[in-house]
Amino acid sequence: MKNITPETYADELRDPRWIARREEIKARDGGKCILCEDTKHLQVHHIRYTKGAKAWEYPDSNLVTLCEHHHDAIHNPTERLQAENMLIAAIRRAGMNTLEVMELIPVLLQVRTKWRETIDARNERLSQP
């Protein structure tokens, strides 16, 4: 995950370079969520963060347009697995080849493992008297 403060990242998201980049990605994706084709409340999601990279410095293959609902789902552990699977399918439909998708799978599996560890730890705490 990116190692920056929330203020710095918020500043990046207001930067004109990110705003232009975000609009390029939305246009590339047809102005709709790649998962449900909604055209409202669109956001651009970074599939994988690179330490030290600015929000606008990522390649097209690492950026996708999502509606607010699906973007929240990607970042919500309880909905993440389903959203990850939908994202993989959408990335393939968007033209990434099998090798490119395969390179993303270890990252997604690592995130899923961390998510499961978090859920297991929470469940353990809740089950203790």
Residue 119 has pLDDT above 90, yes or no: no
Residue range 93-113: mean pLDDT, rounded: 68
How far is it, in rounded angstroms, from Cα 33 to Cα 83? 12
Residue 15 has pLDDT above 80, yes or no: yes
Question: What ranges do the domains of the chain cover?
Answer: 6-127
Sorted by sequence, the CB contacts under 8 Å of residue 20 that are 6+ apart come out as 56
- What percent of the chain is predicted at pLDDT more than 90? 24
Cβ(111)–Cβ(80) under 8 Å?
Answer: yes
| pLDDT tens-place string over residues 33-53 | 888 888 999 999 998 888 889
